[in-house]
Amino acid sequence: MLLYHYSNKPYTELKTKLAQGIMTPAMILEEDKYRGFRHDIFPDYKAISLLPDPIPLDIMGALYAGHDHHIWVPGSTIYEHVVDSRKIPKFMYHISETPDDVKQMFSEWPDNPSNAEKRAYFQSRSARKWRTGENGEGNTELEKHFGKYVNGTRAAYLAAIPLFEEHNWHQYAPMVPHVQLNPEGGVLQLMRPARKVIIGPATAHIPVIKPMSAKW
């Protein structure tokens, strides 16, 4: 399947933070502790985030207008990078912000949780994701479990926006299914050169869609 990554600069290949050489030993140690606490499949510095569809450029500017996002800025130029998952020799994956993730977050995340409650939540989430294939390895499993979200990114953003809290406005794709890949060697090759695209205006019409329920 084709996977999409967006940035403010064009790249000839996509690299993890580790492969970019920007991680210090102290930063690695800190993120390793964070990964262990959250029961994540791999640390953030080994991940590259990708969407299952092209971003809905026509509405992204209007959706994020006035919220000072680092990339979804009305009328701005960004770059689209496309990866063919079949061409990646070996990788692990973590599918994020799935409907089951959102459901579990709203139903099980306690108000003002203690560290013990956070650990229990993350452990439960990790076990579910391994059980359902949202954590895994290789393209066959990725297409089986992530392919279901192809052609759903536009609707996912429209459904998620009404549920946003302040911190969500600064995230890449909150409550929108996307995948983190950990490729062997930390590098993903592009299937074509990065393409310049333009985010739509703040005045674009936003279709009305039924939001995901916050009560499950």
Q: In this prediction, what percent of the chain has a pLDDT beyond 90?
A: 82
At 133, give phi and psi (nearest 5°).
85, 10
Q: In this prediction, what percent of the chain has a pLDDT beyond 70?
A: 96
User: Is the pLDDT at 43 greater than 80, yes or no?
Assistant: yes
User: Is the pLDDT at 57 greater than 70, yes or no?
Assistant: yes
Sheet hosting strand 77-84, strand order edge to edge? 2-7, 77-84, 195-198
Residues in Cβ contact with 195 at an 8 Å cutoff, skipping those fewer than 6 apart? 79, 80, 82
The CA distance from 165 to 148, in Å, is 27
Confidence band (pLDDT; 50, 70, 90) for 170? confident
Residues in Cβ contact with 146 at an 8 Å cutoff, skipping those fewer than 6 apart? 1, 52, 93, 95, 177, 179
User: Is the pLDDT at 158 greater than 60, yes or no?
Assistant: yes
Tokens of 85: 């998952």
Write the pLDDT tens digit of every residue in 201-212: 999 888 766 655
User: Is the pLDDT at 136 greater than 90, yes or no?
Assistant: yes
Write the pLDDT tens digit of every residue in 78-102: 999 999 999 999 999 999 999 999 9
Number of alpha carbons in the 13 Å side-chain half-sphere of residue 199:
23
Alpha-helical segments (H) within the chain: 17-20, 25-38, 57-64, 99-108, 115-132, 139-146, 153-160
Write the pLDDT tens digit of every residue in 106-125: 999 988 999 999 999 999 99
The overall longest dimension of the chain from CA atoms, in Å, is: 47
